[in-house]
Amino acid sequence: MSDDPYGVDVVACKSRQQRLLAEMVEHGLEWVVLTRRESVQWLTGAYVGPLFAPAAAMNTEGRVTLVLPSRKTSLTVAADEVLPYEEKWCSTLRDEQRAASNTVMMSALPIKLRHVGGEWSQLGPDLLADCEGNVINIEPTIFRLRRQKDNDELRMLRRANDANRAMYKLAREIVEPGVNELDVYNELHAVAVQKLGEALTYFGQDFRSNARGGLPRDRKIEAGELYILDLGVGFRGYYSDNARTLAVGGEPSAKQVLAWERVSEVFPLVESTVRPGASCKQLFEEVQSLLDKSKPWVFNHHLGHGVGLAPHEGPHLNPSWDDTFAEGEFFTAEPGLYHEELRAGVRLEENYVVTATGCEKLTDYPLGL
Amino acid sequence: MSDDPYGVDVVACKSRQQRLLAEMVEHGLEWVVLTRRESVQWLTGAYVGPLFAPAAAMNTEGRVTLVLPSRKTSLTVAADEVLPYEEKWCSTLRDEQRAASNTVMMSALPIKLRHVGGEWSQLGPDLLADCEGNVINIEPTIFRLRRQKDNDELRMLRRANDANRAMYKLAREIVEPGVNELDVYNELHAVAVQKLGEALTYFGQDFRSNARGGLPRDRKIEAGELYILDLGVGFRGYYSDNARTLAVGGEPSAKQVLAWERVSEVFPLVESTVRPGASCKQLFEEVQSLLDKSKPWVFNHHLGHGVGLAPHEGPHLNPSWDDTFAEGEFFTAEPGLYHEELRAGVRLEENYVVTATGCEKLTDYPLGL
């Protein structure tokens, strides 16, 4: 066991491998070969960053082969075999890393392959070319399995939120008329790095005042505007995503306060509705109806989504999907109301985890304007 | 023409399309279909960031079809036809973006395809499944063409270096004993954002004192150490990469000064050697011989590489490749010497562009310790 409380949890990875194994049996698959970085990390714990091309394979005995950049093979991972591929030659990144990784993986797979699951968005024509049976796209299965977070993943997501907590606290100190959006962005980035004690693997979302969202502009914020800070970091591949709205100058208008109250009223509805088996789409529709009472202010985006190794995952609190909540899911709820007269709107975003009987809120930081 | 001097240069993109067209004729290809983000940007100017799955296709008449996320179709691009794919449903990113983009692209391609070039590391089994002739991997060709930078690309690379210039200037003000590596990292990030006036598309390389490299640690730097700052930003997809070494405390040892002098002597050799037709490998070997005279201090990494839409590109100043310099190439030269007694070494990295008769240095900022 590593001293690092956020080190890779091999036992938790193996429980994910067992869940994938059950799916393989159900689909009649003899092998699954994963080539998307998030999938490889999900299955084995190996985080390698965006410049590399790892791969992982598992057979029906649950044996896992992992192909990693040669300089990363000492990472703590959940795999029975770790094989290196040459990601660099004499320090220079190779253009053909994916092919090199695939070649190593092919050498570890049986010559005659039948009934394999692969990831179609990152497969390549070389990897399973000799497969004599079916190659099915396993991506939808992986995405479905990723919805349910294990304890190690919740630990990473909570840790990423430590950065968010520090960012909102600082924002309440520094946001005032005349401050430049770029400087707010930089100071929030800095406090997130200080809080986590390491460089982030992602930094983004919404940093514009008097706007619905977007990256920061070279622009001074003004008294009377609402400043939606929808903040996200990456902590070793895991994302955070929640939002607060601040009244620039500290004296929100009566309409701005009313909009904030209307948006805030969504959370009790979320908290009383969500439990395993509840419909995400129906929750979205109830919230849409509730917020539609505030016209001409509009709510015209999703209510929320899962977060994990991608910024958006299932479950989808969204009319375009028909998802059902299940225990262990980590999701955001981010109701908002927007209108020019609000300069330009309120969005509040909380994070929850679905429990056996309901949901638990994870974002305990102040919600006020 | 956009007011933005760094906006997409449609004419320059079209000249790249003509260069690719010449390669298609040579390979007997009827279509090229590009699915890697950097390739799509190189051909059409479309920068969409890491969360999306664009595609571009060109036929032998030079007609370009571009598939972009639906909310990005108003970007200025060099394409004859821009088709949207649904990257989100009601604000939520879809897991199956690559498949959605491929489906739109397939609908724009002829039903019967023969002799197509595709990018194998990002192709997917669906995209060219119905092709009746050969599908060749066009990636090596694209990487080769990318070595030669057009004026619009040099403009982007120079702009990215404006951030580096500002970072080294600030570093010389703030690096002193007792400063934390994380704080140096944060302040350099902040000044780069301020200089470019927008969020970076990348921020990285080496931020450790008394070490060869790596991301910053939660650690105070100490007098007498050498601090290698090998800095890189992303400016709308284009990378920067150069390095300076600072003596923490401002009083380098005689050995540290000597190592700096030995490393500095490499640049006159580079500048007198590089011209179209010169061997990159031979230059590497000459530098290796020169620096080997400083044993036990070691030089044991590449001498340099191209930079552009990837942090490492050709030409390779590296014994593992046998490249030849050509006019228009943008490359780094980054000699170094390392040893414990140097605490822990010196690396200096300059950028050059190959001209018709030699090379021009682009990094004019102070080189001293």
In a domain, A192, yes or no: yes
Last residue of a domain, one of B146, B173, B199: B146
Instruction: State whether B79 and B161 are in the same domain.
Output: no
Structural contact between residues A296 and A339, judged by C-beta atoms closer than 8 angstroms: yes
Instruction: State whether B141 and B156 are in the same domain.
Output: no
A198 shares contact with chain B (CB less than 8 Å): yes
pLDDT at A2 over 60: no
Last residue of a domain, one of B89, B120, B146: B146
Instruction: State whether B188 and B206 are in the same domain.
Output: yes
Phi and psi for B59 in degrees, rounded to 5?
A: -105, 180
A302 shares contact with chain B (CB less than 8 Å): yes
| C-alpha torsion sign, points B158, B159, B161, B166 | positive
For B342-358, letters b (16+ CB in 10 Å) and e give bbbbbbbbbbbbbeeee
Q: How far is CA B324 from CA A46, B272, B278, B305, in A?
A: 37, 15, 6, 12
Q: Do A215 and B197 touch (CB under 8 A)?
A: no
Q: What is the CATH number of the domain that holds A314?
A: 3.90.230.10
Instruction: State whether B226 and B184 are in the same domain.
Output: yes
Query: Chain-wide mean pLDDT for chain B?
Result: 96
In a domain, B353, yes or no: yes
Instruction: State whether A251 and A347 are in the same domain.
Output: yes
Mutate to test the interface with A, among B36, B38, B91 (most CBs of A within 10 A): B91
A67-124 residue pLDDT tens: 999 999 999 999 999 999 999 999 999 999 999 999 999 999 988 888 999 998 877 7
pLDDT mean over B12-17: 98
- Pairwise CA distance, residues B302 & B42, whole Å: 26
pLDDT at A221 over 50: yes
Cis preceding linkage at A315, omega within 30: yes
Structural contact between residues B199 and A216, judged by C-beta atoms closer than 8 angstroms: yes
Instruction: State whether A332 and A195 are in the same domain.
Output: yes
Looking at residue A111, its pLDDT comes to: 80
Cβ–Cβ contacts within 10 Å for residue A112, how many? Answer: 9
Kindly state the DSSP code that residue A303 receives in the 8-state scheme: S
Selection from A35, A173, A152, A32 nearest residue A99 by Cα: A35
pLDDT mean over B260-272: 98
Looking at residue A300, its pLDDT comes to: 97
Looking at residue B126, its pLDDT comes to: 72
In terms of pLDDT, which residue wins out, B121 or A27? A27
Structural contact between residues B164 and B240, judged by C-beta atoms closer than 8 angstroms: yes
Q: What value of ipTM does the predicted structure carry?
A: 0.96
Domain that holds residue B33: 10-146
**Which residues are CB-neighbours of B188 under 8 A, at least 6 positions away?**
B167, B170, B171, B207, B229, B231
Cα three-residue angle B152-B156-B158, rounded to 5 degrees: 115
Looking at residue A280, its pLDDT comes to: 98
Count of CB pairs separated by less than 8 Å, A with B: 147
Tell me what percent of the residues of chain A surpass a pLDDT of 90. 92
Put simply, the chain A residues between 113 and 132 with a CB less than 8 A from any chain B CB are 118, 120-126
B335 neighbourhood in chain A, CB within 8 Å: none
Q: Do B125 and A122 touch (CB under 8 A)?
A: no
Q: What is the CATH number of the domain that holds B111?
A: 3.40.350.10
In a domain, A22, yes or no: yes
* pLDDT band per the 50, 70, 90 thresholds, residue B112: confident
Structural contact between residues A73 and A225, judged by C-beta atoms closer than 8 angstroms: no
Instruction: State whether A129 and A63 are in the same domain.
Output: yes
Selection from A289, A301, A210 nearest residue A253 by Cα: A210
In a domain, A26, yes or no: yes
Instruction: State whether B120 and B226 are in the same domain.
Output: no
pLDDT at B123 over 50: yes
Instruction: State whether A123 and A142 are in the same domain.
Output: yes
Instruction: State whether B156 and B257 are in the same domain.
Output: yes
Kindly state the DSSP code that residue B342 receives in the 8-state scheme: G
Looking at residue B161, its pLDDT comes to: 98
B161 shares contact with chain A (CB less than 8 Å): no
Selection from A99, A52, A96 nearest residue A73 by Cα: A52
Looking at residue B2, its pLDDT comes to: 57
In a domain, A368, yes or no: no
* pLDDT band per the 50, 70, 90 thresholds, residue B244: very high
- Pairwise CA distance, residues B170 & B192, whole Å: 10
Instruction: State whether A171 and A96 are in the same domain.
Output: no
In a domain, A3, yes or no: no
Last residue of a domain, one of B146, B165, B185: B146
pLDDT mean over B68-80: 96
Instruction: State whether A239 and A318 are in the same domain.
Output: yes
Query: Chain-wide mean pLDDT for chain A?
Result: 96
Looking at residue A1, its pLDDT comes to: 45
In a domain, B157, yes or no: yes
pLDDT mean over B12-40: 96
In a domain, B369, yes or no: no
pLDDT mean over A320-348: 98
A99 neighbourhood in chain B, CB within 8 Å: 120-121
How many structural domains compose chain A?
2
